[in-house]
Amino acid sequence: MLDLGELWSPIRLTLELAAITTVMLLIIGTPIAWWLARSKARWKEAVATVVAMPLVLPPTVLGFYLLVTLGPNGPGGWLAGLAGGRSLAFTFEGLVIGSVIYSMPFVVQPIRNAFEAFGERPLEVAATLRATPWDTFWSVAVPLARPGFMTGAVLGFAHTVGEFGVILMIGGNIPGETKVLSVAIYDYVETLQWTEAHILAGGMLVFSFSVILTMMVLEKRMGRPGL
Protein backbone atom coordinates (compact mmCIF):
# COMPACT_ATOMS: atom_id res chain seq x y z
CA MET A 1 0.00 0.00 0.00
CA LEU A 2 1.24 3.45 -0.87
CA ASP A 3 1.46 5.73 2.10
CA LEU A 4 1.13 9.24 0.71
CA GLY A 5 1.92 10.91 4.02
CA GLU A 6 5.16 9.00 4.17
CA LEU A 7 6.01 10.12 0.64
CA TRP A 8 5.06 13.74 1.25
CA SER A 9 7.04 14.26 4.45
CA PRO A 10 10.50 14.07 2.84
CA ILE A 11 9.35 16.25 -0.07
CA ARG A 12 8.12 18.99 2.26
CA LEU A 13 11.24 18.76 4.39
CA THR A 14 13.50 18.98 1.36
CA LEU A 15 11.70 22.04 0.01
CA GLU A 16 11.95 23.72 3.42
CA LEU A 17 15.64 22.93 3.68
CA ALA A 18 16.33 24.19 0.16
CA ALA A 19 14.31 27.38 0.66
CA ILE A 20 15.96 28.29 3.95
CA THR A 21 19.40 27.43 2.61
CA THR A 22 18.84 29.60 -0.48
CA VAL A 23 17.74 32.60 1.55
CA MET A 24 20.69 32.20 3.92
CA LEU A 25 23.05 31.89 0.98
CA LEU A 26 21.72 35.03 -0.68
CA ILE A 27 22.29 36.90 2.58
CA ILE A 28 25.76 35.49 3.25
CA GLY A 29 26.83 34.99 -0.35
CA THR A 30 26.06 38.46 -1.72
CA PRO A 31 28.67 40.37 0.35
CA ILE A 32 31.21 37.64 -0.36
CA ALA A 33 30.49 37.81 -4.08
CA TRP A 34 30.67 41.62 -4.00
CA TRP A 35 34.00 41.56 -2.23
CA LEU A 36 35.37 38.94 -4.62
CA ALA A 37 34.23 40.99 -7.60
CA ARG A 38 35.53 44.37 -6.35
CA SER A 39 38.43 43.76 -4.02
CA LYS A 40 41.99 44.24 -5.21
CA ALA A 41 43.38 42.19 -2.34
CA ARG A 42 45.96 39.73 -3.53
CA TRP A 43 44.62 36.88 -1.41
CA LYS A 44 41.07 37.18 -2.70
CA GLU A 45 41.53 34.25 -5.09
CA ALA A 46 42.44 32.15 -2.07
CA VAL A 47 39.08 33.07 -0.53
CA ALA A 48 37.36 32.33 -3.86
CA THR A 49 39.07 28.94 -3.82
CA VAL A 50 37.79 28.13 -0.35
CA VAL A 51 34.26 29.05 -1.45
CA ALA A 52 34.57 26.85 -4.54
CA MET A 53 36.03 23.84 -2.77
CA PRO A 54 32.76 21.98 -2.13
CA LEU A 55 32.58 21.63 -5.93
CA VAL A 56 35.41 19.15 -5.95
CA LEU A 57 35.50 17.73 -2.43
CA PRO A 58 33.77 14.41 -1.90
CA PRO A 59 30.65 14.90 0.25
CA THR A 60 32.19 12.47 2.71
CA VAL A 61 34.97 14.95 3.47
CA LEU A 62 32.44 17.66 4.26
CA GLY A 63 30.29 15.15 6.12
CA PHE A 64 33.21 14.04 8.25
CA TYR A 65 34.28 17.54 9.24
CA LEU A 66 30.69 18.59 9.83
CA LEU A 67 30.12 15.60 12.08
CA VAL A 68 33.11 16.62 14.14
CA THR A 69 32.25 20.34 14.23
CA LEU A 70 28.55 19.93 14.87
CA GLY A 71 29.09 17.33 17.58
CA PRO A 72 29.09 17.89 21.33
CA ASN A 73 32.84 18.52 21.41
CA GLY A 74 32.81 21.06 18.57
CA PRO A 75 31.45 24.57 18.16
CA GLY A 76 28.15 23.07 17.01
CA GLY A 77 27.72 21.43 20.39
CA TRP A 78 28.34 24.77 22.08
CA LEU A 79 25.77 26.45 19.82
CA ALA A 80 23.29 23.67 20.49
CA GLY A 81 23.93 24.13 24.20
CA LEU A 82 22.61 27.70 23.99
CA ALA A 83 19.31 26.26 22.82
CA GLY A 84 19.34 23.44 25.37
CA GLY A 85 20.54 20.71 23.01
CA ARG A 86 23.91 19.05 22.96
CA SER A 87 24.77 18.41 19.33
CA LEU A 88 23.74 19.94 16.03
CA ALA A 89 24.21 16.65 14.24
CA PHE A 90 20.88 14.94 13.55
CA THR A 91 19.01 18.25 13.60
CA PHE A 92 17.39 20.32 10.88
CA GLU A 93 19.59 23.26 11.88
CA GLY A 94 22.65 21.08 11.36
CA LEU A 95 21.45 20.24 7.86
CA VAL A 96 21.00 23.93 7.08
CA ILE A 97 24.60 24.64 8.13
CA GLY A 98 25.85 21.74 6.05
CA SER A 99 23.79 22.77 3.02
CA VAL A 100 24.92 26.40 3.19
CA ILE A 101 28.55 25.31 2.96
CA TYR A 102 27.83 22.63 0.39
CA SER A 103 25.83 24.86 -1.97
CA MET A 104 27.78 28.08 -1.48
CA PRO A 105 29.78 27.98 -4.73
CA PHE A 106 26.58 27.59 -6.74
CA VAL A 107 25.26 30.88 -5.38
CA VAL A 108 28.42 32.95 -4.96
CA GLN A 109 29.93 32.22 -8.36
CA PRO A 110 27.05 33.46 -10.57
CA ILE A 111 26.54 36.56 -8.42
CA ARG A 112 30.25 37.37 -8.52
CA ASN A 113 30.28 36.94 -12.29
CA ALA A 114 27.29 39.22 -12.61
CA PHE A 115 28.94 41.88 -10.43
CA GLU A 116 32.07 41.68 -12.55
CA ALA A 117 30.20 41.72 -15.84
CA PHE A 118 29.02 45.33 -15.71
CA GLY A 119 32.44 46.70 -14.83
CA GLU A 120 33.36 49.87 -12.92
CA ARG A 121 31.62 52.32 -15.21
CA PRO A 122 28.02 52.31 -13.84
CA LEU A 123 29.39 52.59 -10.31
CA GLU A 124 31.57 55.56 -11.23
CA VAL A 125 28.66 57.27 -12.90
CA ALA A 126 26.56 56.74 -9.79
CA ALA A 127 29.37 58.18 -7.66
CA THR A 128 29.59 61.33 -9.79
CA LEU A 129 25.85 61.74 -9.20
CA ARG A 130 26.66 61.77 -5.48
CA ALA A 131 25.11 58.42 -4.70
CA THR A 132 26.46 56.88 -1.50
CA PRO A 133 28.17 53.50 -1.90
CA TRP A 134 25.23 51.91 -0.05
CA ASP A 135 22.77 53.55 -2.41
CA THR A 136 24.89 52.64 -5.45
CA PHE A 137 24.94 49.04 -4.36
CA TRP A 138 21.18 48.75 -3.99
CA SER A 139 20.00 50.90 -6.89
CA VAL A 140 22.72 50.19 -9.45
CA ALA A 141 24.69 47.03 -8.73
CA VAL A 142 21.91 44.74 -7.54
CA PRO A 143 19.48 45.52 -10.39
CA LEU A 144 22.27 45.13 -12.93
CA ALA A 145 23.28 41.81 -11.42
CA ARG A 146 19.75 40.47 -11.30
CA PRO A 147 20.37 37.58 -13.72
CA GLY A 148 23.25 36.44 -11.52
CA PHE A 149 21.01 36.48 -8.46
CA MET A 150 18.36 34.49 -10.31
CA THR A 151 20.85 31.90 -11.49
CA GLY A 152 22.48 31.69 -8.07
CA ALA A 153 19.18 31.25 -6.27
CA VAL A 154 17.92 28.61 -8.70
CA LEU A 155 21.18 26.67 -8.66
CA GLY A 156 21.56 26.91 -4.89
CA PHE A 157 18.02 25.70 -4.37
CA ALA A 158 18.34 22.85 -6.85
CA HIS A 159 21.72 21.76 -5.58
CA THR A 160 20.43 21.62 -2.01
CA VAL A 161 17.48 19.52 -3.14
CA GLY A 162 19.98 17.14 -4.71
CA GLU A 163 22.19 16.87 -1.64
CA PHE A 164 22.76 13.34 -0.41
CA GLY A 165 26.14 12.26 0.90
CA VAL A 166 26.56 14.97 3.49
CA ILE A 167 23.06 14.42 4.84
CA LEU A 168 23.53 10.67 5.00
CA MET A 169 26.49 11.28 7.26
CA ILE A 170 25.13 13.96 9.57
CA GLY A 171 21.37 13.44 9.33
CA GLY A 172 20.55 10.29 11.26
CA ASN A 173 17.55 9.58 9.03
CA ILE A 174 14.87 11.09 11.28
CA PRO A 175 11.45 11.30 9.57
CA GLY A 176 10.22 14.89 9.36
CA GLU A 177 13.50 16.28 10.67
CA THR A 178 16.44 15.03 8.64
CA LYS A 179 15.05 12.39 6.29
CA VAL A 180 15.15 14.37 3.07
CA LEU A 181 14.12 13.28 -0.40
CA SER A 182 17.41 11.79 -1.53
CA VAL A 183 17.78 9.80 1.69
CA ALA A 184 14.17 8.60 1.44
CA ILE A 185 14.84 7.35 -2.10
CA TYR A 186 17.96 5.57 -0.89
CA ASP A 187 15.94 3.96 1.90
CA TYR A 188 13.23 2.80 -0.48
CA VAL A 189 15.76 1.30 -2.84
CA GLU A 190 17.57 -0.49 -0.03
CA THR A 191 14.32 -2.03 1.16
CA LEU A 192 13.23 -2.96 -2.36
CA GLN A 193 10.22 -0.62 -2.31
CA TRP A 194 10.55 0.12 -5.99
CA THR A 195 7.14 1.82 -6.40
CA GLU A 196 7.91 4.51 -3.85
CA ALA A 197 11.44 4.87 -5.17
CA HIS A 198 10.09 5.30 -8.71
CA ILE A 199 7.63 7.99 -7.68
CA LEU A 200 10.21 10.08 -5.84
CA ALA A 201 13.04 9.48 -8.31
CA GLY A 202 10.80 10.23 -11.28
CA GLY A 203 9.69 13.41 -9.56
CA MET A 204 13.31 14.43 -9.14
CA LEU A 205 13.96 13.85 -12.85
CA VAL A 206 11.08 16.11 -13.81
CA PHE A 207 12.17 18.68 -11.23
CA SER A 208 15.79 18.82 -12.39
CA PHE A 209 14.74 19.04 -16.02
CA SER A 210 12.40 21.93 -15.32
CA VAL A 211 14.97 23.77 -13.23
CA ILE A 212 17.71 23.61 -15.82
CA LEU A 213 15.34 24.39 -18.67
CA THR A 214 13.87 27.38 -16.82
CA MET A 215 17.32 28.68 -16.13
CA MET A 216 18.43 28.40 -19.73
CA VAL A 217 15.30 30.14 -20.97
CA LEU A 218 15.66 32.87 -18.34
CA GLU A 219 19.28 33.48 -19.22
CA LYS A 220 18.50 33.70 -22.89
CA ARG A 221 15.69 36.15 -22.27
CA MET A 222 17.78 38.34 -20.02
CA GLY A 223 20.58 38.17 -22.54
CA ARG A 224 23.28 37.95 -19.93
CA PRO A 225 24.79 34.65 -18.97
CA GLY A 226 25.00 34.28 -15.23
CA LEU A 227 27.54 31.52 -15.29
Partner 1 sequence: MPQSPLRTRIWSAATWFPAVLFAVMLSTVAKAADVKVAVAANFTEAAKEIGYLFEKETGHKAVFSFGSTGQLYTQITQQAPFEVFIAADQARPEKAVKEGFAVPDSRFTYATGKIVLFSKNPDFVKGEATLKDGKFNKIAIANPKTAPYGAAAVEAMKALGVYDDLSDKIVQGNNIAQTYQFVDSDNAELGFVALSQVAAKTEGSRWIVPEDLYATIAQDAVLLRGGEKNEAAVAFVKFLKGPKALEVKEKFGYGAGK
**Helix (H, G, I), strand (E, B), or coil: what is residue 172?**
coil
What stretches of 6-61 adopt beta strand conformation (E)?
Answer: none
Q: Does 89 bind partner 1 (CB under 8 A)?
A: yes
Q: Which is nearer to partner 1, 94 or 105 (CB)?
A: 94
Alpha-carbon gap, residue 132 to 23, rounded angstroms: 26
Q: Does 189 bind partner 1 (CB under 8 A)?
A: yes
Q: How far is the CB of 95 from partner 1 (least distance, A)?
A: 13
Q: Does 60 bind partner 1 (CB under 8 A)?
A: no
The Cα-based distances of 177 to 9, 94, 224 in angstroms read: 9, 10, 39
Q: Does 219 bind partner 1 (CB under 8 A)?
A: no
Q: Does 67 bind partner 1 (CB under 8 A)?
A: yes
Q: Does 191 bind partner 1 (CB under 8 A)?
A: yes
- Counting Cα atoms < 13 Å in the Cβ hemisphere of 149 gives 13
**Member of 168, 180, 184, 185 binding partner 1 (CB under 8 A):** 168
The Cα-based distances of 13 to 93, 123, 163, 178, 184 in angstroms read: 12, 41, 13, 8, 11
Q: Does 63 bind partner 1 (CB under 8 A)?
A: no
Amino acid identity of residue 212, one-letter, is: I
Residues that bind partner 1 (CB under 8 A): 67-68, 70-73, 85-87, 89-90, 168, 172-174, 187, 189-192
